[in-house]
Amino acid sequence: MSRITEEYIKKHPKSAKLAEAGLDLFPGGVTHDNRRFSPFPVYMDRGQGAHKWDVDGNEYIDYRIGHGSMILGHSHPAIVKAVTEAIAKGSHLSSSTELEVKWGNKVRELMPSVEKLRFHNSGTEAVMMAFRMVRVFTGKTKIIKFQDAFHGWADGPYVGTDLDQPGNGIPEQTRETMVILPYDLGAVERTLNSDSDIAAVIFQGNVVIEPTFVQKLRVLTERKGVLLIIDEVVSGFRWSRSGAQGIADVTPDLSTMAKILAGGLPGGAVGGRAEVIDTISKGKIAHPGTFNANPLSAAAGSTALSIVANEPIGEIALGNANRLKAGLNDVLTKLEVPGCVYGVSSILHTRFGADHECDHTYCKEGAKAKGGWSKDAKDVLVQALANRGVYAWADSMILSAAHTDELIDKTVDAFEDSLNAMRADGTI
C-alpha cells in the first residue's frame, strides 16, 4: 500500500465506516457507479460555493460540482431562497403550477430551437422520450448514435457505450434498433443511403469535437429527411447559453436537457419542433410521471436559468477552466510527466502516461495515443488530490462560476504536489 493510500485512509475514518455500511445496503456499496472507488469513497456532508466538506470535516475544492449540474456552485443563495419558498408552499401539488410555465419560458428564451417542451426527472428519461417521439413522428424504428456516446442508462441509449457488454440485460431486439457508428460523416451518409428505417441521429453535445462536425451532420440529416437530436444534458446552458447547438449554430429537431436545467435538483426535459413534441398531445404517446415539473425543481431551475441568462456565468466558468487547464499542463511539462489536459467549455479532460502532440482543446492525437495510466494509478491520483483538499475524478474536472483564481492556483499546486508524491511512491 502506498503512503498516499495510507494517508487517505487515515484522513477518512468516518467515510470508511459509512462505506462498510453501504456495502451491506447497495450493490457495489454506492448509489451511482461513478462514486465507486478504492479503497472506499469519500462521504460528503455539505457544500458551499466551490467547496465541499466531508463527514470527517475535511474541506475540498470541488471539481465534480453536482456532476456538472451546479454551474453556480453549491447552495447558491438565490437557489436556496427559491427552493425554501417553494417547499413552504408544498413540494407536490398534484397539479400544474405557475412555476412550470416560468421554467418552460426560460428554457425557450435561452434555447431558440425549442418551440415546445416536456419536463422529466432526469436526462435518461428525456432521451427515452426523445427516442419515442422521433419513432412515432417518422414511423421509423432505428436511431443512429456514435460509438461510446453516453445518453443515459436506458436500454436503447446505452447500446454502444464503452461499458455495454453481452449479458447486461439489454434484449437483442432492442440492440437491433440502434445503429452504432464512429464519428465519421461518411459512415453516417452511407448508412442513411442504405437503410430507409432510420428515424433520427443523436449527438452527444459535450463530446469534444469540432463544431463543424455538428454543422455537417445537420446538413446531412436535413438532406436525407432524418431528424437530429442533440443531447444537451451536460452541454446545455454550459457550452453556451443555448448549449452546444449555440456554439455550432445549428437547429436540431429535438434537444434533451438536464443538470443545469434544474439548478442542481432532479429534472430533465425534451424540447424542439412543436410538431414532434406534440406527438404526446395527439394521444400516440402517454407521458405520466409523478414528479414531472415538480415545484421544487421548477423553482430551482427557473431561478438558475434566469441567473445564467442575465449574468456572465458561462463566461466566468470558461475563464476558470482555461486558467486551470494552462496551469495543469504547465505542471505536466515541468515535471516531465507524459500526458495532457484538454477540453472545450468549462469541463476539462485528462490523459496521463501517453506521449503525444496536443492542442489542449480537441486533442485528436491524445485520444488515439497508446498507453496511459492504469486504473490503480488513477485511483492513487484521486487519493493524493483528496489528501490535499481537491475533489476530482482522475479523467475529468468540472468547473463553475464559483471557482476563483485563488482556488485554481491552489489546485495547480495540489496537482504538482500529488504527482511528486506519486513519483516518490513509485506509482508513476
pLDDT for residue 366 is more than 80: no
Q: Read off the pLDDT of residues 179-232 as tens digits, 9 standing for 90 and up.
A: 999 999 999 999 999 999 999 999 999 999 999 999 999 999 999 999 999 999
The number of angstroms, rounded, from the C-alpha of 47 to the middle of its chain's C-alpha atoms is 19
pLDDT tens per residue across span 290-328:
999 999 999 999 999 999 999 999 999 999 999 999 999
pLDDT digits 0-9 by tens, 2-35: 999 999 999 999 999 999 999 999 999 999 999 9
Look at residue 367 and tell me whether its pLDDT is greater than 60.
Answer: no
- The one-character DSSP state at 119 is E
Q: What is the pTM of this model?
A: 0.96
The x, y and z cell numbers of residue 20, run together, are 462498510
Cβ atoms 416, 404 nearer than 8 A: no
How far is residue 113's CA from residue 53's CA, in Å, rounded to a whole number? Answer: 40
83, pLDDT greater than 80: yes
**Triad 326, 399, 329: Cα angle to 5°:** 20
Q: Please report which residue ranges of 278-404 form alpha helices under DSSP H.
A: 295-310, 313-335, 364-368, 375-387
Q: Kindly provide the b/e burial profile for residues 269-302, where b requires at least 16 CB atoms within 10 angstroms of the residue's own CB.
A: bbbbbeebbbbbeeeebebeeeebbbbbbbbbbb
Which amino acid, residue 118? R
Rounded to whole angstroms, how far apart are CA atoms 214 and 188?
A: 12
Helix axes 295-310, 313-335, angle to 10 degrees: 80
Separation CA 273–CA 226 (nearest Å): 13
Mean pLDDT across 116-137: 98
Mean pLDDT of the chain: 96
Mean pLDDT of 399-425: 98
Q: Is the model's pLDDT at 281 over the cut of 90?
A: no
Give me the percent of the chain exceeding a pLDDT of 70: 99
Query: Among positive and negative, which fits the CA dihedral 396, 184, 244, 259?
Result: negative
Which domains, ranges and CATH numbers included, belong to the chain?
A: 3-74+312-425 (3.90.1150.10), 78-310 (3.40.640.10)
